[in-house]
Structure 1
Amino acid sequence: MTAVMIRHNSSNRFKLAQSVLIIGVAALLASCQSATMNDNVIAIDSTQGSQQNIASLSAVISSDPNNPEGYNVRGSAYGRAGDTRRAMDDFNQAIKLNPQYYQAYANRALIERSMGRQVDALNDYNKALQINPNYDVAYIGRGNLYREAGQDNDAFADFSRAIDLNTTDPRAYHNRGLIEQKRGQQEQAIADFTIAISLSPKSPQPYNGRGVSYLALNDDANAKANFDKALSLDQTVAESWANVGLIYERQGDLQKAASYYQKAKSLDPTYQPAIQGISRTLGNGA
């Protein structure tokens, strides 16, 4: 469907802006809560992960079959490849060889989480922290479990603990920022997103998060600058397109806003801010 330009008088334009402020930002705040930063099997453990060929890792294990580290590294490689069964087998073997191998517990927990085994994942994170109470990766992983379960206070405590341990993992700051954002603590959220950006300047998620907090503070200029940056870093993220679309909608440029919402929907047909944006700018029949 072709977008139709709609003319508004100044009163209608003001009412439109107010409506978009309430509806659009609320939708982005809600959607942002699911935007966990780079939290997948590829980022199991930056100190243990490997990009080496699995065959070469298998050769290393064959030459030293009683070394748990080889299984842990290969398990990370299997996780990156999406082979959860073999990843689990390797982490199980690493733990069997060394029951105090806390990194393997945390790595196994992330695989369990990806398989929907949340209780097992929680138990493994707890075990990793029992062995090493200063392991920031486990606090971040457990914090994400808590956040997904709606236990924001527990999640906040875990992310804060990782930060107190001087973690350099941007996920701790980004995900704590999401909780602060949800609580309406936008200045604190912006500060945490800014640190996440400094630690991972090529990731679009913290730019989008920071932009949404600026929107909640009615700072459209800084919001747009952040959304534009997120989009320039990765044009395959539906959230970035929808966020820029909301800026144009707030400015009254419904045709341009609709084009951004449509692009977001083409990337993720289930993304609600894009669907709702299309409905507002083109009508329910779009």
Structure 2
Amino acid sequence: MVEVTGESLIASEKGARGLSLRSLGTGILFAAMATFLVACNTTDTTDTIRINKEQGTEENIASLTAVIESNPRDPEGYNTRGSAYGRAGEYKRALGDFNQALELDPRFYKAYANRGFIYRLMGEPENALSDYNTALQLNPRYDVAYIGRGNIYYHANQLDAAMNDFNKAIGLDTTDPRAYHRRGLIFQRRGNHERAIEDFSTAISLSPNSAEPYNGRGISYVALNDDDNAFADFNHAIELDGKLAESWANQALIYERRGELKRAYKSYSHALSLDPKYQPARDGVARTRGAVQVN
């Protein structure tokens, strides 16, 4: 399967510009935390493939093409090259190869799942869902297809159906961190932060170099008022991938909760420089700018 995804949760906390959250009244602070948790449960970055242009180089494609030319009736060759095209962002070419693989072997469930993922990236969830369903009809124990279909349900806000698919994948002893990460997001949205932390931790154990589950776990730590562990997770997410605006805004959130508004402003500003459209960073800059202007 070609899919490598990235999801992070981030929330904006409503405070007064130029004031430490710790200096706010109890009622205002409670309202700020409520707003934070609502945003946490509804904001999710786009589920996208991590483009690896090296896999789409002429040399690599030529090598895979040579394999196909030596055995043009082998559907696996087309599936492999289609996966390379997918990782390189060449979605139409990827579809062409998966179509050819399925023409040669209509029961090639992995090609259906791969094509389903490409359809999802192209904004065609109905076609993607159809392909995932076919893959599971052909192989009801294919964890990748459950995860892919679960992602479609998740983005359609069909959380029960999504949870069911992630549970099935996990029940099949999947080693794919996406199943635990996504299920953690659902637990998080439902306010079950203890279970969310467990799932994010499992995702981290399976993919320790991915920043996204650290961000997810950190948000649940914040919800449980465990700022120290949250701060450690956000900082580690930055160490793993310093180009994620979510990580910097999450770090800024902890600074803001600690009353370190200058540091918060700096981190929010950096997040905004990475993604000028990232609203939590914009909100954070607006809230903390006053602390910088005072001095």
Q: How high is the TM-score relative to the length of structure 1?
A: 0.88
1:247-286 map, 5 Å: 247-282=254-289
Q: How big is the shift at 1:8? A: 6.3
Q: Matched residues in 1 for 2:46 and 2:213: separation? A: 9
Contact 1:41–1:110 under 8 Å retained in 2: no
TM-aligned CA deviation for residue 15 of structure 1: 6.7
- Structure 2 residue 27 is matched with structure 1 residue 27: no
- Partners of 2:222 and 2:282 lie apart in 1 by 19
Quote the sequence identity (%). 55
Kept after mapping to 1: 8 A contact 2:21/2:259 = no
Q: Deviations over 1:77-96 (max 9, x none)?
A: 11111111111110000000
- What is the RMSD of the two structures over their aligned residues, measured on CA atoms? 2.4
Q: How does 1:64-79 map to 2 (within 5 A)?
A: 64-79=71-86
In structure 1, the gaps of 5 or more residues are: 44-48
Q: Is 1:170–1:199's contact at 8 Å kept on the other side of the alignment?
A: yes
Mapping of 1:98-177 within 5 angstroms? 98-177=105-184
The whole-number CA distance in structure 1 between the counterparts of 2:28 and 2:22 is 10
Q: In structure 2, do the counterparts of structure 1 residues 13 and 89 end up closer, same or farther at CA, with 3 Å as the change threshold?
A: same
The answer on whether the counterparts of 2:56 and 2:88 sit within 8 Å (CA) in structure 1 is no
SS in 1 for 2:264: helix
Residues 31-46 of structure 1 mapped to structure 2, 5 A cutoff = 31=43, 33-34=44-45, 36=47, 39-40=48-49
Question: How far 1:35 sits from its partner (Å)?
Answer: 6.1
Paired residue secondary structure (2:234): helix
Q: What secondary structure does 1:53 align onto?
A: helix
Match of 1:46 in 2: none
Q: Matches of 2:22 and 2:91 in 1, distance apart?
A: 57
Distance, in Å, in 2 between the alignment partners of 1:41 and 1:142 is 19
Q: Is 1:204 aligned with 2:216?
A: no
In structure 2, what residue type is equivalent to 1:30?
T
Runs of 5+ unmatched residues, structure 2: 1-16
Deviation of the 1:9 alpha carbon: 11
Q: Secondary structure at the match of 1:34?
A: coil
Give 1:168-187 correspondences, 5 Å limit. Answer: 168-187=175-194
Secondary structure in structure 2 of the residue aligned to 1:166? coil
State the 1:278 CA deviation.
1.3
Shift of residue 145, structure 1, vs aligned partner: 0.4
TM-score using structure 2 length: 0.86
**Using the alignment, how far apart are the partners of 2:65 and 2:118 within structure 1?**
20
1:108-156, Cα deviation, whole Å (9 max, x unpaired): 0011111111111000000000000000000000000000111011001
Q: Is the 8 A contact 1:17 1:250 kept in 2?
A: no
Number of residue pairs matched?
A: 272
Kept in 2, the 8 Å contact 1:190–1:213? The answer is yes
Q: Which amino acid aligns with 1:27?
A: A
